[in-house]
Amino acid sequence: MTSPFPDDFLWGCATAAYQIEGSPLADGAGASIWQRFSHDPRLMAAKGDTGDVACDHYNRMADDVALMKELGLQAYRFSVAWGRVLPDGTGKVNAAGLDFYERLVDTLLANGIEPLCTLYHWDLPAALDDRGGWLNRDSADWFADYARVMFDRLDGRVKKWVTLNEPWVITDGGYLHGALAPGHKNVFEAPIASRNLMRAHGAAVKAYREVGRHEIGLVVNLEPKYPASGSPEDTAALARANAYMNRQYLDPAIHGTCPAELATIFGEAWTDWSADDLALARQKIDFVGVNYYTRNVTRADDSWPLNAGMVKQPLATYTTTGWEVFPQGLTDVLLWVKELYGDPAIYVTENGAAFFDPPVAEQGRVEDPLRVSYLRQHIAAVGEAIERGANVKGYMLWSLFDNLEWSLGYSKRFGIVHVNFATQQRTLKDSARLYREVIATNGACLD
Ligand code: BGC
């Protein structure tokens, strides 16, 4: 058995605070925009589902880390709920909130699991939203101050930091289409939020260079775009879709530029970035985190504001979130990052799939053959990208647990560990058993 994965390749799982922790207001924590959004039936698609309990990880952290160890995880990517640490978003630190993450990190380390810490996975303190949230230019300073608190306490024990998770989803879902918190639908807001997010990213990286001694990067969700035809209309639609989703954040962060197509897409809502904003966003990062779920075969259409849409593939398998299973897209996108962005170190920071799994595990077992097949193919696709020269250093499967799939609530199960939400019983799915073997053989078992 041979493996394309280097010996020091890092195998792990990913989660996010609001999706698993529960107890969002415990021990002095301040509410987040997701607390508000999920409690508002006008906004939440899965009405009644909230993060109030979720996987109750806040109370079960030690047992959950023991489970990670049982799976052989070498790394665990989690996020910090900003409002646990700074209930008002700025100012006074809440010791109990910070202690929770310190305990988590120490427990991981005691079990030989490397922590990857994401500073922002969508749960902005509500107090900051009241001050304009990501539309306020001060958000860059708020974020850098919060980041500094985390670096001061945990850098050294945490050696891999992520500033933002998926700025594209934050703005497209939160400010343009309203499907995610804070639930705005405003074309004028989206480019402003994007710019401030990238200024915040840059400000946090700058702060890290003053005090940090290890690595910091940005996580983006990338969806490779393939043309539906060679027509000039589809070619232009492809360029727009690519600029909007794939280049909007990496271009400023790495090249200090903005794709020209954004001005076409946003029309009168677009204003050019100042040289100072571009300079702030462009800081040297140590790695690019890639979240990959699916591809997009793109054609021109009348959808707003992109005028580009997706062509369904009649012969393909789709997940329960409606995403085409397309492993080759992961190889392609990793090579695309290598080509366009100067061959950076890359971590796959999320990859996984929701398929139908029963709510209750039968006799200690959950068979999830579609997820098993998805993971086998996608992990092999990472191996292929490595063989073709991409500098991929680790793979963080999404997700460790079934959890709150944001506005879709508990209806979509992404976990390799099944969660019975009535009892909090955790059960390994067959995919978890597969992943344990993948880790133990450093990918060779996929041959
Ligand atoms: C997010 C996760 C989410 C997953 C599946 C990513 O966009 O980072 O929080 O659960 O995709 O939708």
CATH number for position 371: 3.20.20.80
Axis-axis angle for helices 57-71, 430-440 (nearest 10) = 50
Residue 1 within any structural domain of the chain: no
- How far, in Å, CA of 337 to CA of 333, rounded? 6
Residue 159 inside a domain? The answer is yes
> Which of 222, 320, 398 gets mutated to test ligand 1 (max ligand atoms within 8 A of its CB)?
398
Report yes or no on 3 lying in a domain: no
- Closest C-alpha to 316, from 300, 307, 306, 329: 329
The whole-angstrom separation of Cα 87 and Cα 122 is: 15
Instruction: Name the pTM for this structure.
Output: 0.98
Residue 37 one-letter amino acid = F
Buried b (16+ CB within 10 A) or exposed e, 136-155: beebbebbbbbbbebbebbb
The answer to whether 265 touches 306, Cβ cutoff 8 Å, is: yes
In this structure, is residue 147 part of a structural domain?
yes
Looking at the chain, the number of H-run helices and the number of E-run strands are 16, 13
**Residue 425 falls inside a structural domain:** yes
Instruction: Quote the ligand 1 centre to 232 CA distance (angstroms).
Output: 33
Asked if residue 4 belongs to a domain, the reply is no
What does the alpha-carbon distance between residue 378 and residue 234 come to, in Å, rounded to a whole number?
28
- Counting from 1 in the atom list of ligand 1, the atom nearest the Cα of 354 is 5
User: Tens-digit pLDDT profile for the chain (447 aa)?
Assistant: 579 999 999 999 999 999 999 999 999 999 999 999 999 999 999 999 999 999 999 999 999 999 999 999 999 999 999 999 999 999 999 999 999 999 999 999 999 999 999 999 999 999 999 999 999 999 999 999 999 999 999 999 999 999 999 999 999 999 999 999 999 999 999 999 999 999 999 999 999 999 999 999 999 999 999 999 999 999 999 999 999 999 999 999 999 999 999 999 999 999 999 999 999 999 999 999 999 999 999 999 999 999 999 999 999 999 999 999 999 999 999 999 999 999 999 999 999 999 999 988 989 999 999 999 999 999 999 999 999 999 999 999 999 999 999 999 999 999 999 999 999 999 999 999 999 999 999 999 998
Residue 419 pairs with which residues in a beta bridge? 426
Atom of ligand 1 nearest to the CA of 16: 9
- 181 CA distance to ligand 1 centroid (A)? 14
Q: Hey, is 21 helix, strand or coil? A: coil
Looking at the structure of the chain, the number of domains it has is 1
Residues in a beta bridge with 417:
401, 428
Ligand 1 first shell, C-beta below 6 A:
16, 19, 165-166, 169, 221, 291, 350, 398, 405, 414
* Strand, coil or helix: 94: coil
Query: Cα(126)–Cα(341) distance, rounded to whole angstroms?
Result: 35
CA–centroid distance, residue 231 to ligand 1 (Å)? 33
Domain membership flag for residue 2: no
- Sequence-ordered alpha helix ranges (H) in 242-303: 250, 261-266, 275-281
SS3 (DSSP) at 129: helix
46 inside domain: yes
Cα gap 434→436, rounded to integer Å:
5
Residue among 204, 103, 195, 192 at smallest CA distance from 154: 103
State the Cα–Cα distance between residues 116 and 13, nearest whole angstrom: 10
Look up residue 419 and give its two tokens: 């969660």
CA dist list (Å): 303 to 167, 186, 309, 416: 21, 15, 7, 35
Please, which residues bridge with residue 114 across strands?
A: 75
- Determine the structural domain holding residue 427 and report its residue range: 10-446
